[in-house]
Structure 1
Amino acid sequence: MKYAKGILALVVLVALAIGIYFYWQHQARYPSTDDAYVQANIITIAPEITGRVTAVNVVENQLVAAGDVLFTLDDTVFANAVQQAEQQVQSLQKTGEALAQQVVAATAQVTSATAAKQVADEQAARTQTLLGQGNASQVQGDDDTAAAVQAAAALDSAQSGLAQANADVIANQDDVVAAQAQLNTAQLALDHATVKAPVAGWIANLTLRPGSVVAAYQPQFALVDAGDWWVDANFAETDLPRIVAGLPVSIEVDMLPGVTLTGKVASLGIGSGSSFSLLPAQNASSNWVKVTQRFAVRVTLDEPVQGLRVGASANATVDTTAAPVAP
């Protein structure tokens, strides 16, 4: 009997040792952690202008599409600013059209004055020739010379007028550009009176109500991005040497029993969680107990499923026997 009990005890010990060995082998090949949490991009929704809320178009936990109107602000002041800026632009454009006509007229005057000067110069030259031959009077010569001088002065005046007309056109163009910039700014402010969803997602922490006065860039609520989900799994530092980017990962989320998600290792944390805490642990004493540190491993999900919630607890297991695939 004693012999049989000894054999039984030996068998149990051997079986236990074998079980421990295979468990250790499994853990070495498939490191896992239950210190994992579902994460998503959480976008802060804030207006880009200050104003009074006239309507809130969403409710808490509502799923919205990109571009959906979330809430609107009183746009009376901004609409008036746009109207005034549009009128200013239109007025300057009409002025520009009139100045363009003045350039046309000034150009015609220069053309006419140029031709008149040429005629006057030729006449003065002929008179001087005749005067030298004794075939013209001195009075005629003086008159034709004076006419040529007047024609030259008229051409100078016409050219100055054309230069001023061109300068006025350029100045008007600058004014139009400035006015258009003011119009664009006013239109942008008016557009910002309607706050839209930047991405598809779920509304969270909504307390905004019509009638509230909100300040520019002051957060009002959050939008959980529906298109980008991942799991932050905190693995023991002894597991990290076997974990590399691209390895497949299976994830079991506590709130989704029976559902196994798949993903890939995207990256490994550069520091332990305690390293980034407000008061990092300082083990400078001689009697401290060494604690295995944990490092966050970012796991991208292949196909997020309905029912995921940000912050949900999960179990993550990495298959270190597989070939890494680009995440």
Structure 2
Amino acid sequence: MENQATEKTNGKKRNPVFIIILGLLVVGGGWFGISKYQHSQHHEDTDDAQVSADISPVIPRIAGYVTEVRVKDNQLVKKGDTLIVLDNRDYIIKVEQAEAALATAVSNLNSAKATTTASKANIATSKLAVNTIDAQIEAAKVSLWRATQDYDRYSNLYKDHTITLQQFEQASAAKQSAEKQIAILEQQKNQAAQQTSAVAVQSNAVAEQIGVADASIRQKQTEIDAAKLNLSYTVVTAQQDGLISKVNVQPGQFIQAGQALFSVVHSDAVWVIANFKETQLNKM
């Protein structure tokens, strides 16, 4: 009996496993405690924290019916990726209408310029006609002066019975013809001058039309630019890299300009918001 008890006691002394494991646990626990303590002297921890990021809403610039939704929740997108597509038929028609209006305005401008060119030519022709008539009037005045001289001389000769009545009447007729010729030329000059004035007024009016046509062309071009811009808005694209969140739109749905459809969480602007106690701040 004593031998058996002695053997059991000796067996316990010879088995060091339990002691080794216990020692390791004590050493490991001590090392962890010391490390934790040292870390706590220079660092603070908190469970009251959350991850935040910049979020941009996806908002259409125009109203329309949705034809395609190319993204879903939690999908990663790159800047420029197409997110949704709107029905663009009405906007294409508006572009075509604006282009047709511009073509009409250009045609009106060309017509006005052609009229101006013709008016300038007519003014030049009328002025030339006036100058020609002035020269003819001067020549007619010379002829009238001669005819008047002949008439006066023949009148005296007829009184003296030096010439016949027929000769006197011929001199009188020549004088009257010269007077009528001057009257006709003066009338023609007045008509040519009036025509010149009328053409000048028309030319001024056409010049105003050219100014109006130029302004109309600029306006129509602006309308085309606006129509094309609205057409481009029928394709809504991502403005930055990120993660799609809360998609709330589907094909066939009518959306308004400025309506928030879903969000893009920026992938390049993520941070952590941690809340610490006031007593922890002196170790941070």
* One-letter amino acid of the counterpart of residue 250, structure 2: R
1:191/1:127 Cα in 2 relative to 1: closer, same or farther (>3 Å)? Answer: same
- Shift of the alpha carbon at 1:88? 1.9
Residues in 2 aligned to 1:36 and 1:117: alpha-carbon distance in whole angstroms:
98
Higher relative contact order (CA closer than 8 Å, sequence separation 6+):
2
89, 98, 108: which is aligned to 1:95? 108
- Shift of the alpha carbon at 1:22? 10
* One-letter amino acid of the counterpart of residue 100, structure 1: K
| Larger fraction in strand | 1
1:155 correspondence with 2:196: yes
1:35/1:107 Cα in 2 relative to 1: closer, same or farther (>3 Å)? Answer: farther
Fraction of identical pairs, as percent: 27
1:170 correspondence with 2:211: yes
Structure 2 residue runs without a partner (length 5+): 1-35, 150-174
* One-letter amino acid of the counterpart of residue 244, structure 2: I
221, 226, 231: which is aligned to 1:190? 231
Structure 1 residue runs without a partner (length 5+): 1-18, 243-316, 319-327
Task: Provide the residue aligned with 2:265 in structure 1.
Answer: 224
Question: Secondary structure, in 3 states, of the residue corresponding to 1:39?
Answer: strand
Task: Provide the residue aligned with 2:22 in structure 1.
Answer: none
- Shift of the alpha carbon at 1:79? 1.7
1:113/1:233 Cα in 2 relative to 1: closer, same or farther (>3 Å)? Answer: farther
Question: Secondary structure, in 3 states, of the residue corresponding to 2:258?
Answer: coil
Deviations 1:9-54 (A, max 9, x none): xxxxxxxxxx999966x46xxx776655433221100212222111
1:20/1:107 Cα in 2 relative to 1: closer, same or farther (>3 Å)? Answer: same
1:1-327 aligned within 5 A: 26=42, 35-128=48-141, 131=144, 134=148, 137-234=178-275
Residues in 2 aligned to 1:33 and 1:124: alpha-carbon distance in whole angstroms:
114
Q: Which has the larger radius of gyration?
A: 2
CA contact (8 A) 1:124 1:148 kept: no
1:233/1:144 Cα in 2 relative to 1: closer, same or farther (>3 Å)? Answer: farther
Deviations 1:275-310 (A, max 9, x none): xxxxxxxxxxxxxxxxxxxxxxxxxxxxxxxxxxxx
Residues in 2 aligned to 1:107 and 1:190: alpha-carbon distance in whole angstroms:
44
1:220/1:119 Cα in 2 relative to 1: closer, same or farther (>3 Å)? Answer: same
Residues in 2 aligned to 1:234 and 1:122: alpha-carbon distance in whole angstroms:
106
Task: Provide the residue aligned with 2:157 in structure 1.
Answer: none
Residues in 2 aligned to 1:104 and 1:237: alpha-carbon distance in whole angstroms:
88
Cα root mean square deviation, aligned: 3.3
1:221/1:128 Cα in 2 relative to 1: closer, same or farther (>3 Å)? Answer: same
| TM-score of the two chains, using structure 2 as the length reference | 0.66
CA contact (8 A) 1:42 1:222 kept: yes
CA contact (8 A) 1:89 1:180 kept: yes
Aligned length: 221
- Shift of the alpha carbon at 1:86? 1.7
* One-letter amino acid of the counterpart of residue 115, structure 1: L
Deviations 1:44-92 (A, max 9, x none): 0021222211111112222222211111111222222222222222222
| TM-score of the two chains, using structure 1 as the length reference | 0.58
State which drifts further: 69-78 or 174-183.
Answer: 174-183
Question: Secondary structure, in 3 states, of the residue corresponding to 1:165?
Answer: helix
* One-letter amino acid of the counterpart of residue 68, structure 1: D
- Shift of the alpha carbon at 1:143? 2.2
